[in-house]
Amino acid sequence: MSSTTKWVIDPTHSEVSFKVKHLVISTVTGYFKKFEGSAESNSDDFIGAKVAFAADIDSIDTNQSDRDAHLKSDDFFNAEQFPKLSFSGILEGSTLNGDLTIRDVTKAVKLDVDFGGVAEDPYGNTKAGFEIEGKISRKDFNLKWNAVTEAGSVVVSDQVRIILSIQLVKQ
């Protein structure tokens, strides 16, 4: 039996973003600026690794302060009552299967994973890189606010793309 290796997210070399269609014609990108996560793995390919992740809702940034404040309100995330979103799961091949919790709702999600490999940085730290992507329905997590324009277009789409570029540091 091989020993378990613990890895943690290197926030300076990682990015957590989401994309949502606005008015059906364009896409708005947002980021979580504060997040943390870890992986525990028994192998260098990370198959079977246990993954945990959390992001601070208050760190949401869509490059527009009024929209950020709206996203933090009870219409969406309700940052005051639910300050974090979280995920825990297992890497199975190129799929990360687990439970995503937003607000007080937990749902099973599948995320596609592209494992970039392992390398040593100039300071002797062992790093591993991942591109992780998936889609969720925001309404499944009680992020229900919406409006309809005079022309009948929905302001915010239901589908949200999640895109993470993650670098882990071996502990």
Which pLDDT score is estimated for 145? 64
Which pLDDT score is estimated for 153? 47
How far is residue 138's CA from residue 102's CA, in Å, rounded to a whole number? 9
Which pLDDT score is estimated for 151? 53
Q: What is the pLDDT of residues 77-96, one digit of tens each?
A: 999 999 999 999 999 999 99
CA end-to-end span of the chain: 19
Which regions of the chain are under pLDDT 70?
1-2, 22-26, 145-157
| Residues sharing a CB contact under 8 Å with residue 86, sequence separation 6 or more, in sequence order | 52, 53, 54, 55, 100, 101
Domain 5-170 has CATH 1.10.4160.10: no
Q: What is the pTM of this model?
A: 0.89
